[in-house]
Amino acid sequence: MALFDIFLPALIIVIFILSKAIKIVNEYERVVIFRLGRLSGIKGPGLFLIIPIIDTVVKVDLRVVTIDVPKQNVITKDNVTVDVDAVVYYKVVEPSAAVNEVENYKYATSTLSQTTLRDVIGQIELDELLSNREEINKNIQEMLDVYTDPWGIKVTGVTLRDVKIDDTMLRAIAKQAEAEREKRARIILSEGEFIAAEKMKEAAKMYQEMPASLKLRELQTISEVSREKNLVVISNSTQIGEIVAMSKAFSDKSKN
């Protein structure tokens, strides 16, 4: 009984020490170990041992983290006020740097995302913001990568989720789009008139070389108009006879 009383406290102490020394982390986690305040190494995943009291551990999640960037009120390069919000995706690639180089990497990355979003949007015009989002997303991601690389963090993606414009500016954009469509319509109409004038010029030259063809064209036009049977046409029969004779002569010549 006395022996049991001696070994029982020792057994309890051993069990307590083992419970503090044995650590288990998941596949997507790593543990940064500090021994007496100095960086000792990185452990995980799975089972490993530490020295209780002497070692302290900091657990880091390696999965992709999503940051919902709050709506930012930004003035674009052409002095238009817009509300923009975005989503940023990042993950920790160097756990020791994420723990040692920045106090709170999650808060730091979130704050940096807001600042970078305002900086990038402030350097572009509204038209580019509305029509070139993919390029803007890429620029924001590259800028975040430069700042977060010393922290052991990799930004995997950035997406502009919504761009809100004031109603007054929306009406101005609609007027601008309408004016642009009107401009294109006038250009197309002018091009059509130019082509038609060129063709009429060529036709006039041909009629000048052969006046009889002009009269034939006139008769064809009268024939097309008179299909409604409500038109009375008075023409010079002598000229018509001459035209018929000339047409027959040209026809006979072509046969020969």
pTM, two decimals, is 0.64
User: Could you tell me if 197 and 189 are in contact, meaning their C-beta atoms sit under 8 angstroms apart?
Assistant: no
C-alpha closest to that of 110 among 137, 152, 144, 60: 144
User: Could you tell me if 248 and 217 are in contact, meaning their C-beta atoms sit under 8 angstroms apart?
Assistant: no
Percentage of the chain exceeding pLDDT 90? 34
Q: Which residues pair with 85 in a beta bridge?
A: 162
Domains of the chain: 2-61 (no CATH), 65-165 (3.30.479.30), 211-256 (no CATH)
> Tokens in use for 172?
């101005």
Measure the CA–CA gap between 152 and 96, rounded to whole angstroms.
8
- The predicted-structure confidence for 2-60, as pLDDT tens digits, reads as follows 566 667 777 777 787 788 888 889 999 999 999 998 998 899 888 888 888 899 999 99
Q: Which residues pair with 159 in a beta bridge?
A: 87
Q: For the sheet containing 81-92, what is the strand order?
A: 65-75, 81-92, 153-165
